[in-house]
Amino acid sequence: MALVVKKFGGSSVATTEKILAVAQRILSEKKPDDKIVVVVSAMGDTTDNLITLAEGIDKEPYKASYLREMDMLLTTGEQISISLLAMAFQKLGQPAISLTGSMVGMKTDSVHTKGRILDINPARVFEELEKGNIVVVAGFQGADKLGDPVTLGRGGSDASAVALAGALKADECEIFTDVDGVYSADPRIVKNAHKMKEITYREMLEMARLGAGVMQPRSVEMGHYFHIPIHVRSTFNDKIGTVIREAYTLEDNYFEIRGVAHDPKVAKIAVLGVSNTPGIAYKIFSALADANISVDMIVQSIRNLEKNITDMVFTIDESDLAQAKKVIDKVAEEIDAASVLVEEDVAKVSIVGAGMVGNPGVASKMFGALSKAGVNIDIISTSEISVSCLIKGSQLVEAVNSIHDEFFKE
C-alpha cells in the first residue's frame, strides 16, 4: 500500500475529455490498496476568463484593494475542476470526493494572490481516504485565519501538492507535467541530453535558479522541508520520470556533474570609469535593491590603478533592464562615472552538481569545453554546487552542447 499525492496542471484538465482521461490514467496505475490524493489546477483557460470578467469591473483588477475579491473569484477555477474530476472517477466506478483548499486545512497568511502556506491540518483528507475515496483537492489555494480564500501565487499548485504530501506523510508526490522528467540539459537544445533518474533537492534548486524551467524552486524547497520525494513525470505517457529526493539511492547515478543549465534572459550593465572609493558599490546596488531589481553576477575590475579608477559590471534579469537603466543612469551621474554600457546579447551557462565540491578539475573542464567551441567567457561566478559563465547570447547553443558533450560523452 502506498499513499501518493498526484498533481495535474491546468493543461491536463483543460476539457472534460481530458479530465476523464486523467481519471482513467490514475485508475489504470492504482493498486487495490493505494490511497490516492489528486491535486489539480483550474481547467485550461478558466483563470484567464475569470480575470477578463474582473477587467469588466475595473481594467486594473490587481489593485491592492481588489486582491481579496480576486482570490474569491479565482479560487472558483479549481473548485470547478475538482468537482468534475471527482464526478469522472465516480463515472468510472471509483468513489471520490472533491475538497477545496480551505477544506483540506491548508492555512495560509492573508497576502491575497501571493499567499504562503503556514500550516496544514488534513484531518478531512485522512477521513475521506479511510472511507475508500480518492480525494481530489483544489491546488493553488488555501484559506487564511478568517476562512477567506487565498491563492498561492506563482508555482503555488505544485507547492500545495508537495506541502499536502508532507502533511499526509505521503510516500511520494508525483508532479505530472508536459515533460517526462528532469534532463541533464534542455533536450530542445541538446540532442543527447539524458533524463536523470534522480536528483537531490539542492541540485534541483540550483538547476531551477540557473534557468532549468521544469520545477519552481518553491515546491522543491517544500519537498526538501518535508522530506517528500517528488516524482516529475509526463502527463502523456506512463514512463518513470525523475525523482527529486534527499540523496541518491542508485549507484549508477553518479557523474561529475548533474546537468547543464542555461538562461538566455540575462542582460549586462557596465558602469565604467568609477572612482574606487568606499561606498560606491553600495550606492549602485542599494539603488537597484530599492527598485526591487535582483542582481546576479557582479565583477569589479581595476581599470587604472594609478588613478584608482574601476569598472563595475553586473547582470540582471532581461525583463528588469529598462527600469535598471533608468536607476543606473541616475546613480552614474551622482558618482560621476565615465559611462554606462548595456549589453543584451548575453546568456548564462552553468554546470550543477554536488559532486564538484573540492574538485577544481570540474570548472577547468567546463572552461576547456567553452574554449573548444570558440566561446569567450565574459564573467565567471561560482557557488558550492555550480559554476556559471556569462557568454555571448548568440553562442549559447554551441556552448551548452559543448559542455554537455565534455561531461557526458559516452
Q: Which stretch binds its own copies (CB under 8 A): 50-58, 249-257, 361-369, 373-381?
A: 50-58
Does position 16 bind its own copies by CB under 8 A? yes
Does position 80 bind its own copies by CB under 8 A? yes
Ranges within 361-390 binding its own copies (CB under 8 A): none
Question: Which residues, 6 or more positions from 2, have their beta carbon under 8 angstroms from its beta carbon?
Answer: 31, 33, 34, 35, 171, 172
Does position 103 bind its own copies by CB under 8 A? yes
Query: At closest approach, how far in Å is the CB of 53 from its own copies?
Result: 6
Q: The C-alpha cell of 173 is what?
A: 508526490
When the beta carbons of 67 and 379 are compared against its own copies, the nearer one is 67
Query: At closest approach, how far in Å is the CB of 109 from its own copies?
Result: 18
120-139 footprint of its own copies as x/- string (CB under 8 A): ----x---------------
When the beta carbons of 50 and 366 are compared against its own copies, the nearer one is 50
Does position 15 bind its own copies by CB under 8 A? yes
When the beta carbons of 71 and 198 are compared against its own copies, the nearer one is 71
How many residues lie near its own copies (CB under 8 A)? Answer: 39
Query: At closest approach, how far in Å is the CB of 43 from its own copies?
Result: 8
Query: At closest approach, how far in Å is the CB of 147 from its own copies?
Result: 6
Question: Which residues, 6 or more positions from 295, have their beta carbon under 8 angstroms from its beta carbon?
Answer: 285, 288, 314, 315, 316
Does position 400 bind its own copies by CB under 8 A? no
Does position 20 bind its own copies by CB under 8 A? yes
Query: At closest approach, how far in Å is the CB of 298 from its own copies?
Result: 43
Q: How many CB atoms lie within 10 A of CB 192?
A: 13
Does position 22 bind its own copies by CB under 8 A? no
Does position 87 bind its own copies by CB under 8 A? yes
Ranges within 60-79 binding its own copies (CB under 8 A): 61, 65-66, 68-70, 72-73, 75-76, 79
Q: The C-alpha cell of 176 is what?
A: 505530472
- Contacting positions for its own copies (CB under 8 A): 15-17, 19-20, 50, 53-54, 56-58, 61, 65-66, 68-70, 72-73, 75-76, 79-80, 82-84, 86-88, 90-91, 97-98, 100, 103, 124, 146-148
